[in-house]
Amino acid sequence: MSLLSIRNLNLSIHGTPILAGVSLEIARGQIIAVTGESGSGKSMTAFSVMGLLPKGAETTGEILLGNGTKAATGRRRHPGRDSPAGQSAKTDILQMSETQLCDLRGNEIGMVFQEPMTALNPVQTIGAQVAETIRLHRDSSKAEAREQAAQTLARVGLPESRFPLSRYPHELSGGQRQRVVIAMAIACGPRLLIADEPTTALDVTTQAQILDLLKELTEEDQMGLLMITHDLAVVANMARHIVVMRKGQVVEQNDTRTLLSQMQHPYTKALFEASSHQVDLPETRAETPLLQVQDVCRDYRLPRKTLFGRPGHFRAVDDVSFDIAKGERVGLVGESGCGKSTLTRAILGLENVEAGRITLDGAPVFSGGRPNLNVRRKMQVVFQDPFGSFNPRHRVDRLITEPFHLLERQPSAQEWQARIAESLMAVGLSPDDARKYPHQFSGGQRQRIAIARALIIRPELVIFDEAVSALDVSVRAQILDLIADLCRQYALTYLFISHDLSVVRSVTDRVLVMQAGRIVEQGDTEAVFTNPNHTYTRSLIKAAPVLPAMVSS
């Protein structure tokens, strides 16, 4: 008997169809994954189950929440619970009143979100936020709720001894915050847990831990878990059943084993291919050194402990040395906080370093207390966030010609136009797109614009700073293909910074592994991945999700 069954769910918002005929079933203790690219309707399916749809939403069909099997475990169950959903065997969520839905959310159905950095209220302690769920649905006193919140937080790996309930969200890391969000979702022992891209914003090692935690909790509490993700590799090893969605419809669903071995729909195949996408990188000969980083250290000042005490220092980059030769494609991997971004800023000459030298073509990147412009014009960077890195009020032509100000000689008006058209075409856009605004493009297209901006002055070195991390797998595969293509056309030299190992593996010749400010391992990409020497590299590779080998395509 199933716990949740969605039957022929149709959803339209202000008349625009969003979901068409979505059906799926979840039983108690089961993990079901819904996958598809952005805009496929997977999140909207989840919000329909939560009854948290935006204004103007109209639904038809049924979302039935039942008791599942009767094998309820005693530990998290509360004898006095009575809720509208609990009284009858099955209730249609779509027919519930708002009051009934409020009783349902957080109580019968818990939800975990994608962005742990912003999912918690910054002005309330984590204890208060977890206890709130309990107080909302249980008749417990403040002290009881607090006690239960402490227990729940301990269950998700935040024991009170190390993480007091009085901590505020900003005092925790992304992974820890996600644990708090999970604690809030499971505090009342819901029957169903919905996790919407719960690990997309986290780095590999944290992702693996959070996935393990979700799996464990599902098993212990015999909950149903509805996992939403764009990356099949993430769920291939944990979900029992996979639902593939596209444009609001379920194109294929089957139990994981069958789906992986005999997928039918071309879209499913494309998704699988994208998840472990390998690009065809042209051969290159790397001889003359371009970027040289020698014994670089970068410190940050910590706040003073006492009013007149000396401020402490935190060494973010510790004695790092490496070279990048002309034409070489180098990857830099490491988890968040390892010093990748600090190193990037130092290479771009945005900050001075405490020790060591960074030179490009023999000239220092930072000189006389400011970035060396002669060097700066030879480097360009592509950032992670395709939404935040453009001024929304500028048109594309203005955005991508911004690097021109670095040049000594400004191009003539004619050349200016020609360069715009050329770089837009190089990244697979049309010259007509020059007069559009960034909001008129999708995330993948914006990242193309960002690459066009970086390439327009033909830099010698391009830095891709997590440039594909915010994109979903299918778009990511396209951008990686574009990068390989550009390598063929322009013989690019780049430093590719990412926490995603599979991506780094496919687009780099050489890789640097960074941990706690140090480069712990470097070498040819294939050699490092097939035969890692350092334990940290090994743990990174082990944590990275991979599609099982049984994929037939």
Partner 1 sequence: MLRYTLKRLISLIISLAVTSLVIFFVIEIAPGDPASLMLGVNAQPDTLAALRAELGLDVPKWQRYLNWVGGMLVGDFGTSYQYRTPVAEMIGNRLWVSLPLALYALALSTLIAFPAGIFAAARRGGPGDVAIMSATQLGVAIPNFWFAMMLVLIFAINLRWFSAGGFAGWDNGFFAAMKSLTLPAIALAMPQAAILARVMRSALLDVLSEDYMRTARAKGLSARRALWRHGLRNAMIPVLTILGLQFSFLLAGGIIIEQVFFLPGLGRLIFQSISARDLIVVESVTMLLVFAVIVVNFAVDLAYAAVDPRLRQRS
Asked if 85 contacts 94 with a C-beta cutoff of 8 angstroms, the reply is no
Asked if 110 contacts 185 with a C-beta cutoff of 8 angstroms, the reply is yes
Residue 303 as a binder of partner 1 (CB under 8 A): the answer is yes
Q: How far apart are CA 178 and CA 48, in angstroms?
A: 22
Figure out which of the listed residues 82, 98, 283, 408 binds partner 1, where binding follows CB under 8 A.
98
Give the binding range for partner 1 (CB under 8 A) out of 133-141, 398-406, 472-480, 514-522: 133-141
DSSP letter (8 states) at residue 196: E
Strand 249-255 and strand 57-65: the pairing is: unpaired
Q: Hey, how many other C-beta atoms are within 10 angstroms of the C-beta on 314?
A: 10
Q: For the CB of residue 168, give the shortest distance to partner 1 in the complex, in Å.
A: 4
Site mask for partner 1 (CB under 8 A), range 236-265, x = bound: ------------------------------
Q: For the CB of residue 456, give the shortest distance to partner 1 in the complex, in Å.
A: 34
Residue 64 as a binder of partner 1 (CB under 8 A): the answer is no
User: What sign results for the dihedral spanned by CA atoms 504, 505, 510, 511?
Assistant: positive
Q: Which is nearer to partner 1, 314 or 490 (CB)?
A: 314
Q: How far apart are CA 146 and CA 448, in angstroms?
A: 49
- Helix/strand/coil (H, E, C) string of 46-98? HHHHHCCCCCCEEEEEEEEECCCCCCCCCCCCCCCCCCHHHHCCCEEHHHCCH
Q: Which is nearer to partner 1, 308 or 549 (CB)?
A: 308
Give the binding range for partner 1 (CB under 8 A) out of 15-23, 119-127, 405-413, 520-528: 119-127
Residue 431: phi and psi, rounded to 5, are -55, -25
Site mask for partner 1 (CB under 8 A), range 168-197, x = bound: x-x----------x--xx------------
> Which residue intervals of 318-458 are DSSP H helices?
340-347, 373-376, 396-400, 413-426, 443-455
Q: Which is nearer to partner 1, 126 or 471 (CB)?
A: 126
Residue 14 as a binder of partner 1 (CB under 8 A): the answer is no
Give the binding range for partner 1 (CB under 8 A) out of 141-149, 276-284, 301-309, 323-331: 301-309
Residue 118 as a binder of partner 1 (CB under 8 A): the answer is yes
Q: Which is nearer to partner 1, 174 or 334 (CB)?
A: 174
Figure out which of the listed residues 102, 238, 281, 520 binds partner 1, where binding follows CB under 8 A.
102
Residue 111 as a binder of partner 1 (CB under 8 A): the answer is yes
Q: How far apart are CA 413 and CA 418, in angstroms?
A: 9
Residue 273 as a binder of partner 1 (CB under 8 A): the answer is no
Residue 178: phi and psi, rounded to 5, are -65, -35
Q: For the CB of residue 26, give the shortest distance to partner 1 in the complex, in Å.
A: 18
Q: For the CB of residue 550, give the shortest distance to partner 1 in the complex, in Å.
A: 36
- For residue 199 the two structure tokens come to 């690990």
Q: Which residues have CB under 8 Å from 159's CB, separation 6+?
A: 153
Q: How far apart are CA 23 and CA 30, in angstroms?
A: 16
CB contact burial 137-158 (16+ within 10 A = b; e otherwise)? bbeeeeeebbbbbbebbebbbb
Q: How far apart are CA 263 and CA 550, in angstroms?
A: 11
Give the binding range for partner 1 (CB under 8 A) out of 2-10, 121-129, 384-392, 396-404: 121-129
Q: How far apart are CA 494 and CA 380, in angstroms?
A: 10
Residue 52 as a binder of partner 1 (CB under 8 A): the answer is yes
Residue 120 as a binder of partner 1 (CB under 8 A): the answer is yes
Q: Which is nearer to partner 1, 77 or 304 (CB)?
A: 304
Q: How far apart are CA 229 and CA 235, in angstroms?
A: 8
Q: For the CB of residue 121, give the shortest distance to partner 1 in the complex, in Å.
A: 4
Residue 82 as a binder of partner 1 (CB under 8 A): the answer is no
Figure out which of the listed residues 45, 59, 107, 229 binds partner 1, where binding follows CB under 8 A.
107
Residue 115 as a binder of partner 1 (CB under 8 A): the answer is yes
Q: For the CB of residue 206, give the shortest distance to partner 1 in the complex, in Å.
A: 18
Q: For the CB of residue 185, give the shortest distance to partner 1 in the complex, in Å.
A: 7
- Total residues at interface with partner 1 (CB under 8 A): 33
Q: Hey, how many other C-beta atoms are within 10 angstroms of the C-beta on 288?
A: 10
- List residues near partner 1 by CB under 8 A: 50, 52, 98-99, 102-107, 110-111, 113, 115, 118-124, 132-133, 136-137, 168, 170, 181, 184-185, 303-304, 307
